[in-house]
Structure formats: structure tokens, C-alpha cells
Structure 1
Amino acid sequence: MPRSNRRRHDSSGDDSFERLLAGWKRTEMRRGVEWTVQPVSPAQAQKPYTCPGCGRQIDVGVAHLVAWRADGVMGDAADLAARRHWHQHCWKVA
């Protein structure tokens, strides 16, 4: 019987996807504050956002990054809820 070249769907689903994303997260220091930064690929960018760095829109399908405080001052849930989407170049100069 011929072998299929199609990838089979992973039964772990979102779990494996979350592990993949976690590998891209990093921590950065900005002005004495620790931030968690996670890139968003063009395929993942499915909603428009306003960049806090320049005030312009990040369009659907545009690679960017998401940043939130990593220090837990207000608690992890509050820090994650306050995350913001940035243009990559705006984050670099912030």
C-alpha cells in the first residue's frame, strides 16, 4: 500500500501549539521593568491593533509582537490582561 505524505493531526492539539509558542517568548528589561515579549507571525495576526509606540494601526497579516509586564506587580492575570501589541520597530526604540 502506498505511503501517505500528508501530516497527521496531532491529538494533543492546542497543547503542542502552546509549547511551540512558549519557545518564542522571551523576557526583556525596559526602563527598569521586566517584560515578557512574544512575536506574532503574519499568519497569527488576525485582528487589527493600535500600537502604543506610534499610535498607528497594526493591520491584519502584519508580523508584530505582544508585550506585557513580567514582574507580577498586579498579579499575573492583570499583567496578561494589560498586554499590548507593538510594531517590532516601535518596541525596539521604546
Structure 2
Amino acid sequence: MSPRQNRRCRDDSPIHAAAALSNAATRETGADGQWWVRMVAGVAAVKTYRCPGCAGEVLPGTVHLVAWSADDPDGSAHRRHWHRSCWQQRNRRRPIG
């Protein structure tokens, strides 16, 4: 009997693929301004965060992204951890809260 092979969904968008390979921040422009965005691998995600898009938890081990305003080069005070799908849909949702 051959071992089971899991097939994972892939996000093949060029921005996210490039960020995942280099672990470098990429600059994105949206209706809400310009942002630095960096992918976080599941093995690197060791804390629980609150996603500003859905107000749900980003659990340890979850692949997600970190975004901060391009106006803040360091971004350390204003980084937010987002689910990838919430980030992609942020311009189509009403703000939470």
C-alpha cells in the first residue's frame, strides 16, 4: 500500500509566491493605501494573534501574513497579523467594530 499524499491548496499569486520564497516584505498598493506585506510560514508562527479582518484568532502554526503601513518603514508598532484570505478581501468588507 502506498502512503497517502496530501494535496495542499496553493496561492500562486506572484506577490505571495515571491514573499514566501524570500521571506522579504513586498510592497502592495490598495484602496486603503500602500503596505509592506511579509508572509509568515506556519513553523515560524508561534504566538496567537487577532486578525483585524475577521476578528478571529490567527493560531500558532497557521500560515498568515504581517502587514504594516508603507509610511512607517520600521512598522514595529503598527504591524498586524492577517489571515491571507482576510487580507485579500479587506477592500470588500466593512471594518469590524
The normalised TM-score by structure 2 is 0.65
User: Which AA in structure 2 matches 1:84?
Assistant: R
- Aligned-residue Cα RMSD (Å) equals 1.4
Q: How many residues align?
A: 69
CA distance in 1, matches of 2:46, 2:30: 27
In the TM superposition, 1:79-94 aligns within 5 A as 79-94=75-90
Residue 71 of structure 2: SS of its match in structure 1? Answer: coil
- Structure 1: gaps spanning 5 or more residues: 1-19
- Deviation string 1:27-49 (CA, Å, 9 cap, x unpaired) is 10121511000000000000000
In the TM superposition, 1:7-26 aligns within 5 A as 20-22=22-24, 25-26=25-26
User: Which AA in structure 2 matches 1:56?
Assistant: G
The normalised TM-score by structure 1 is 0.67
Residue 55 of structure 1: SS of its match in structure 2? Answer: coil
Percent identity among equivalent residues?
Answer: 41
Runs of 4 or more above 3 Å deviation:
none
Report the counterpart of residue 58 of structure 1 in structure 2: 58
